[in-house]
Amino acid sequence: MRSHSRTSGFSQMAVRILLGGFVLVPVGAVAALSLRSPLSLRVTDLAGAMEQFLSWGQYRNILFHSPEYWVCFWNTLFLLVPAMLLTILFATLAAYGLCCGRRTRGQAAAVMLYILLSLLPMQILLVPNFVALSAMGLIGSRLSVILVCSFSPYYVYFMFRICRQIPSEIFEAARMEGAGELKIYRSIAMPQMKSGIWLLVLIGSADLWNMVEQPLVFIQTPSKYPLTVFLRNMDNSAGYAGSIVFSLPVMLLFLLCGRDAAEQIELL
């Protein structure tokens, strides 16, 4: 009986490893290809094989010889940071607005609307967004992407779920003490939502870090493109290493914050 349960445990682990490995195949392939030499060498001996398949050439090219790569890296940050700050502002304000006060049908309908909107694929909204931004004269500027990404219904709903966990009695007590809504938002709601905001930053950063379509459609200027757009045009001499280096910050961020984020998600 005991032997049977041990065998079952092993087989389960084997299946998990297999599935996990299967999921990691693309990442592993990119990592392996990033170690190929930027030059195509004629491999005749072991030394040649080592140079061809185990070279830091791509990383050297990316880290020290590709200013375009780093300009796009900075462009990604120039889009991500303001978009993230505005997302936090708008999402927390909207979430507070939905949470405070008594629950009404209108409030429920608004929440439902946010849920429906967050289900819409981003590609569907590209054309209407483009028309609106074009009318505002923002096509070609970074602000176009920042604004589009800042008003995310998904993150409003996300923060609504966080904010809803704050006991409404706290808000009512503050109002009885004479505090205004902005004061309550700034002094009570925001500190209470702080861990949720960090989670929002984590998820939102990963989302914004990887955006391709919006910059490509709205910015249209190569010098302002984020790295995701630039990576499309990179050749084999550094492209794979570029992908690995590009994904490192987000991967490290998840390694650092992953546990806290998981705990926070459990509370939702």
Partner 1 sequence: MTRRKLWLFIVSVLLLITVCTAVSFKNYTAGLNRVSVSSTASNQIHAKADSNGIFLFSDIQKLPLPTDCRVEEVMVSVGENFEEGQPLVRLNPDDAAILYYQLLLQRRTLEEQLNQTDEIRRELAVHSLSRLEEQTAFLSALQQNEGVIYAEFPGQVTELNVIPGDVTTARSSLSYGNLKGEGYFEWYVDSRQYRAFTGTTAEGDGFSLNLKISSRLYLEDKKLYRYVSKPVPLESVPDPVHGMYTAIQMQYFSDDYAAVLPKSCIETDADGGNYVYLLRERDGVLGTENYVQRIGVTILEEDNINAAVMKPLENLVIHSARPPQDLEKVLVIEE
Could you tell me which stretch among 42-50, 140-148, 179-187, 217-225 binds partner 1 (CB under 8 A)?
Answer: 217-225
Q: How far is the CB of 77 from partner 1 (least distance, A)?
A: 8
Q: What are φ and ψ of residue 35, in 5° steps?
A: -95, 0
How would you class 71 by CB atoms within 10 Å of its CB: exposed for 0-12, middle for 13-18, buried for 19 or more? middle
Q: 241 near 89, Cβ under 8 Å?
A: no
Of the CA atoms within 13 Å of residue 196, those in its CB half-sphere come to: 26
Q: How many CB atoms lie within 10 A of CB 2?
A: 6
What CA–CA distance (Å, rounded) separates 163 from 150? 19
Residues 39-98 that bind partner 1 (CB under 8 A): 63-74
The residues near 99 (Cβ < 8 Å, ≥ 6 apart) are 160, 163, 164, 166, 168, 189
Nearer to partner 1 by Cβ, of 213 and 260: the residue is 260
Nearer to partner 1, 55 or 242 (CB): 242
Amino acid sitting at position 255: L
Nearest distance, CB of residue 197 and partner 1, angstroms: 12
Length of the chain: 268
> Which one of 222, 236, 262, 267 is in contact with partner 1 (CB under 8 A)?
222
Q: Which is nearer to partner 1, 146 or 227 (CB)?
A: 227
3-state DSSP percent of the chain in helix, strand and coil, to 5: 80, 0, 20
1 vs 14: CA distance, rounded Å: 20
Contact between 221 and partner 1 per CB under 8 A: yes
In the complex with partner 1, which residue's Cβ is closer, 52 or 264? 264
C-beta of 262: minimal distance to partner 1 in Å?
Answer: 12
Q: Candidates 159, 225, 238, 244: give the one binding partner 1 (CB under 8 A).
A: 225
Site string for partner 1, 245-264 (x = CB under 8 A): ----x--xx--xx-xx----
Number of helices followed by number of strands (H, E) in the chain: 15, 0
Inter-residue contact 163 to 95 (CB < 8 Å): yes
Site for partner 1 in 103-132 (CB under 8 A): none
Q: How far is the CB of 249 from partner 1 (least distance, A)?
A: 5
Of the two residues 10 and 74, which places its CB atom closer to partner 1 in the complex? 74
Q: How many residues bind partner 1 (CB under 8 A)?
A: 24
User: Closest approach of Cβ 260 to partner 1, in Å?
Assistant: 5
Closest approach, Cβ 257 to partner 1, in A, equals: 5
Tally of CA atoms within 13 A in the half-sphere of 250 that contains its CB: 19
State the minimum distance, in angstroms, from the CB of residue 69 to partner 1: 7
CB-nearer residue toward partner 1: 103 or 194: 194
Applying CB under 8 A, which residues contact partner 1? Answer: 63-74, 221-223, 225, 230, 249, 252-253, 256-257, 259-260
